């Protein structure tokens, strides 16, 4: 018997037993709440009913790597709506199931020549007949007419155009040459021939997807308005850190200034964060640290603009690894995202079908494959259900505040190919400014050069770290904002030898009446400093500029290479910025509502663990043990529910669970609710009660059971476990 037939039978059994099933009237996203979302190309299934607020249905024709069999877009949308979900729409802007466009079915013309092509003439493919795309005007017309219009007609009011990506190694197709001629009004120049050509090619790639997003979203809003709908438009995108490291060009921070863009999904997960980087002369994976910087770069894109930001994590990843690897790195990225207390909207998972139904290795040294282990699916549901109640918080992560690293979209312009032998291994000119402090327990923040026109961008910065060794300013106005900030008392450390081959590309700093050897000379002039200044401190107004003549990569490529940087920044922080003592440690801690988040760093000052004392529930342990002490070792993270911070301990309530809870009722000396989560998963929950439970009744489609609820006197919580059901499990506890 199929899962679908089984659950139709169970649905009626549930009604007969008096269990509240999910139906069209049982809305998950009540009152328009859209705090948690997930993306899927499939219809509703009992195995993937994860109970987030919003199901983002992917693709009019599905996802290239996840073929749909026999279900139209409208049918897939309706299947989630029938189960109470708010539905949104997502598709790729740089690739997708668009074979009707490429093979000429749409307009009678063959368009495979619009794929992104690398130097050897090969097209870069995302799937069969799915190239990465050079977004021509004709292609954008197709996206608007065949995809955006259709989903709005289907009742969708939120659209996500994901991953506006142009590979740095691409730029050799006839389509790209046509766009070059149109944009620059000159004949195309091969990017491998000079740094200037590379820079111009990548600047064009950046422009093409900026224009694409603007056109498609503007159309969506206008068409929606004609239908009486307010269409919201979001861009799911990798971080600037990751795109720069993976050598991909995207508009990134610049999109936040478009009136048609309502926000982003920060696509950060194990697959992006495990990209190796250098620190103390060693290249290796540093998943927590990289994720922290990735989420930070995404937050800084929108924080000054007020746009909405969803943070994404993935319990697995694209690369085939084992379940233990997925679990360990999921915890690292999950902790990193929660250390940003001003963000409280989340994509809890992409592609639930591969998470719940995919087969992956049971261990790193075994070829045996199995579906997600029960202990891991339990832990995963505890974590994502915590996100449903995760608050925005004014609490701050521990550590000396105010050290910020400057980034710019042009980080993506200089990554490929190599010119004149100048290398930036694994984006070391960025990590060279960030990791020496992050690894010592300083919560480094990110400032986007493109956002300096917003006053909020620099309001918390005490010492600003920047370089032009790996990026260039796209406009001279950014220097006006930096100079004004320094003049009022800001402290800027500029690190670099200005010796990379991109210093001389034909750009605004050497194209006008006054020509500068490097863009930094223009910045220095703004602050009354002569061109090519020697290393040292310079006063400007109430502020200070320190020029450090070393490329930041030198601080991480060699063991102990960051010693001088640390000393200079400590002096600037304490004496010039007067920001207090710059303190180093090996951990981060954040109190966030009822939750405690801890991360202990390896390769840091010491190997001492972090010891938390109190009354906790360990949310990274699928058994949800009640603890009075939690020891976190270097390289580990902890996610704890702090029972001691619950405001009303006389009120019965679920504190942690591997399900979503509905229909809570307290009547006399009893507490009841309905628990819902996917089939084939086990629920474990901790429930706060005024006194020890006397009886626990559990009712599901199989019948009624009575069990003993395990009691912890110290925390006043009981532990209950049972098999989950998307139809609902009724729980009643008498005490």
Residue 163 lies in a domain: no
Domain boundary among 541, 575, 609: 575
Residue 415 lies in a domain: yes
Confidence of residue 21 (pLDDT cuts 50, 70, 90): very low
Please check whether residues 413 and 540 belong to one and the same domain: yes
Q: What is the pLDDT of residue 505?
A: 94
Q: Please compute the mean of the pLDDT values over residues 507-520 and round it to a whole number.
A: 92
Residues 378-437: pLDDT tens digits?
Answer: 999 999 999 999 999 999 999 999 999 999 999 999 999 999 999 999 999 999 999 999
Q: Which domain CATH number covers 435?
A: 3.40.50.880
Q: What is the pLDDT of residue 62?
A: 81
Q: Please compute the mean of the pLDDT values over residues 262-275 and round it to a whole number.
A: 98
Residue 514 lies in a domain: yes
State the pairing for strand pair 703-707/695-700. antiparallel
Strand order in the sheet with 403-407: 445-448, 403-407, 463-466, 491-495, 543-548, 536-540
Backbone angles phi, psi at 296, to 5 degrees: -65, -40
Please check whether residues 453 and 554 belong to one and the same domain: yes
Give the list of residues 6+ apart from residue 433 with CB closer than 8 angstroms, or none. 405, 465, 466, 467, 495, 552, 555, 565
Spatial contact of 713 and 33, defined as CB atoms under 8 Å apart: no
Spatial contact of 309 and 266, defined as CB atoms under 8 Å apart: yes
Residue 522 lies in a domain: yes
Q: What domain range is 631 assigned to?
A: 587-643
Backbone angles phi, psi at 71, to 5 degrees: -110, 125
Cis peptide bond N-terminal to 417, omega within 30: yes
Query: Measured between alpha carbons, how far is residue 115 from residues 112, 197, 437 in Å?
Result: 6, 20, 42
366 beta partners: none
Query: Measured between alpha carbons, how far is residue 96 from residues 44, 64, 147, 632, 709 in Å?
Result: 21, 6, 11, 43, 50
Q: How many helices (H) and strands (E) does the chain have?
A: 18, 36
* pTM for this prediction: 0.95
Please check whether residues 544 and 617 belong to one and the same domain: no
Confidence of residue 67 (pLDDT cuts 50, 70, 90): low
Please check whether residues 430 and 471 belong to one and the same domain: yes
Residues 708-719: pLDDT tens digits?
Answer: 899 999 999 999
Please check whether residues 665 and 724 belong to one and the same domain: yes
Residue 716 lies in a domain: yes
Please check whether residues 438 and 555 belong to one and the same domain: yes
Distance CA 107, CA 84 (A): 38
Residues 457-506: pLDDT tens digits?
Answer: 999 999 999 999 999 999 999 999 999 999 999 999 999 999 999 999 99
Spatial contact of 672 and 730, defined as CB atoms under 8 Å apart: yes
Please check whether residues 517 and 600 belong to one and the same domain: no
Please check whether residues 637 and 690 belong to one and the same domain: no
Would you report the helix, strand and coil content of the chain in percent, each value rounded to 5? 35, 25, 40
Residue 519 lies in a domain: yes
Please check whether residues 543 and 440 belong to one and the same domain: yes
Q: What is the pLDDT of residue 70?
A: 66
Q: Please compute the mean of the pLDDT values over residues 335-340 and round it to a whole number.
A: 98
Q: What is the pLDDT of residue 708?
A: 85
Please check whether residues 554 and 417 belong to one and the same domain: yes
Backbone angles phi, psi at 248, to 5 degrees: -130, 145
Burial class (CB within 10 angstroms; exposed 0-12, middle 13-18, buried 19+) of 362: middle
CA nearest neighbour of 166 among 266, 272, 252 = 252
Which one has a higher pLDDT value, 682 or 4? 682
Residue 625 lies in a domain: yes
Which long-range contacts (C-beta less than 8 Å, at least 24 apart) are formed by 319-322?
319/271, 320/360, 320/361, 321/360, 321/361, 321/364, 322/360, 322/361, 322/362, 322/363, 322/364, 322/366
Residue 5 confidence (pLDDT) above 70: no
> How many domains are there within the chain?
3
Q: What is the pLDDT of residue 63?
A: 77
Beta strands of 301-456 (E only): which ranges? 308-312, 345-350, 360-361, 369-370, 403-407, 445-448
What DSSP assignment string belongs to 659-680?
A: SEEEEEEEETTEEEEEEE--TT
Cα atoms in the 13 Å half-sphere on the side-chain side of 532:
6
Distance CA 446, CA 295 (A): 10
Residues 97-110: pLDDT tens digits?
Answer: 999 999 999 999 99
Residue 552 lies in a domain: yes
Residue 448 confidence (pLDDT) above 70: yes
Domain boundary among 536, 554, 575: 575
567 beta partners: none
Query: How high does pLDDT run on average in the chain?
Result: 94
């Amino acid at each position: 018997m199929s899962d679908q037939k089984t659950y139709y039978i169970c649905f009626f059994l549930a009604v007969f037993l008096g269990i509240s099933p999910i139906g069209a009237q049982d809305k998950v996203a009540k009152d328009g709440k859209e705090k948690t979302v997930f993306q899927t190309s499939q219809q509703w299934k009992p195995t993937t009913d994860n109970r987030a607020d919003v199901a983002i249905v992917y693709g009019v024709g599905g996802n290239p790597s996840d073929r749909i069999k026999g279900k139209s877009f409208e049918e897939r949308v309706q299947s989630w709506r029938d189960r109470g979900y708010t539905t949104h729409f997502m598709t790729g802007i740089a690739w997708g199931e668009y074979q009707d466009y490429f093979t000429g079915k749409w307009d009678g013309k063959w368009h495979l020549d619009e794929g992104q092509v690398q130097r050897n003439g090969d097209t870069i493919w995302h799937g069969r007949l799915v190239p990465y795309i050079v977004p021509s005007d004709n292609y954008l017309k197709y996206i608007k007419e065949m995809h955006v219009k259709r989903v709005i007609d289907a009742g969708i009011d939120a659209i996500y155009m994901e991953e506006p990506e142009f590979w740095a190694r691409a730029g050799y197709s006839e389509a790209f040459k046509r766009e070059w001629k149109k944009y620059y009004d000159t004949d195309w120049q091969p990017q491998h021939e000079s740094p200037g050509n590379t820079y111009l090619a990548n600047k064009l790639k950046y422009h093409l997807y900026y224009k694409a997003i603007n056109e498609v979203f503007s159309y969506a809003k206008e068409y929606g308005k004609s239908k009486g709908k307010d269409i919201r438009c979001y861009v799911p995108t990798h971080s600037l850190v990751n795109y720069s490291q993976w050598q991909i060009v995207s508009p990134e921070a610049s999109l936040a200034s478009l009136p048609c863009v309502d926000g982003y999904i920060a696509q950060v997960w194990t697959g992006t964060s495990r990209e190796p980087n250098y620190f103390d002369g060693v290249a290796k994976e540093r998943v927590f640290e990289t994720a922290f910087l990735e989420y930070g770069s995404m937050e800084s894109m929108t924080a000054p603009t007020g746009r909405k930001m969803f943070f994404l994590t993935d319990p697995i990843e694209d690369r085939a690894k084992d379940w233990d690897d997925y679990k360990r790195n999921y915890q690292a990225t999950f902790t990193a995202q929660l250390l940003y207390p001003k963000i409280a909207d989340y994509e809890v998972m992409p592609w639930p079908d591969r998470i719940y139904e995919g087969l992956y290795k049971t261990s790193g040294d075994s070829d045996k494959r199995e579906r997600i282990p029960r202990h891991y699916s339990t832990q995963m549901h505890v974590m994502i259900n915590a996100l449903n109640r995760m608050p925005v918080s004014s609490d701050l992560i521990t550590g000396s505040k105010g050290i910020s690293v400057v980034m710019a979209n042009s980080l993506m312009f200089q990554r490929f190919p190599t010119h004149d032998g100048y290398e930036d291994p694994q984006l070391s000119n960025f990590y060279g400014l960030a990791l020496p402090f992050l690894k010592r327990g300083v919560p480094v923040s990110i400032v986007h050069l493109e956002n300096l026109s917003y006053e909020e961008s620099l309001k918390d910065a005490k010492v600003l770290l920047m370089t032009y060794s790996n990026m260039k300013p796209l406009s001279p106005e950014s220097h006006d904002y930096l100079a004004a900030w320094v003049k009022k008392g800001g402290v800027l450390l500029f690190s670099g030898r200005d010796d990379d081959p991109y210093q001389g590309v034909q750009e605004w700093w050497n194209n006008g009446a006054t020509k500068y050897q490097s863009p930094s000379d223009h910045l220095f002039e703004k602050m009354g400093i002569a061109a090519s200044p020697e290393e040292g401190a310079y006063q400007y107004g109430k502020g200070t500029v320190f020029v450090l003549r070393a490329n930041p990569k030198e601080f991480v490529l060699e063991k102990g290479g960051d010693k001088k940087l640390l000393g200079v920044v400590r002096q600037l922080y304490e004496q010039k910025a007067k920001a207090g003592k710059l303190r180093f440690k090996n951990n981060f801690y954040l109190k966030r509502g009822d939750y405690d988040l801890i991360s202990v760093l390896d390769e840091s000052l010491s190997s001492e663990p972090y010891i938390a004392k109190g009354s906790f529930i360990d949310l990274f342990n699928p058994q949800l043990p009640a603890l009075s002490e939690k020891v976190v070792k270097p390289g580990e993270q902890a996610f704890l529910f702090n029972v001691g911070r619950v405001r009303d301990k006389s009120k019965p309530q679920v504190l942690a669970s591997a399900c979503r809870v509905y229909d809570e009722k307290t009547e006399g000396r009893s507490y009841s609710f309905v628990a819902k989560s996917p089939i084939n998963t086990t629920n474990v929950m901790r429930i706060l009660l005024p006194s020890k439970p006397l009886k626990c009744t559990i009712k599901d489609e199989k019948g009624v059971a009575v069990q003993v609820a395990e009691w912890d006197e110290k925390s006043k919580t009981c532990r209950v476990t049972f098999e989950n059901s998307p139809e609902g499990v009724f729980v009643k506890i008498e005490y």
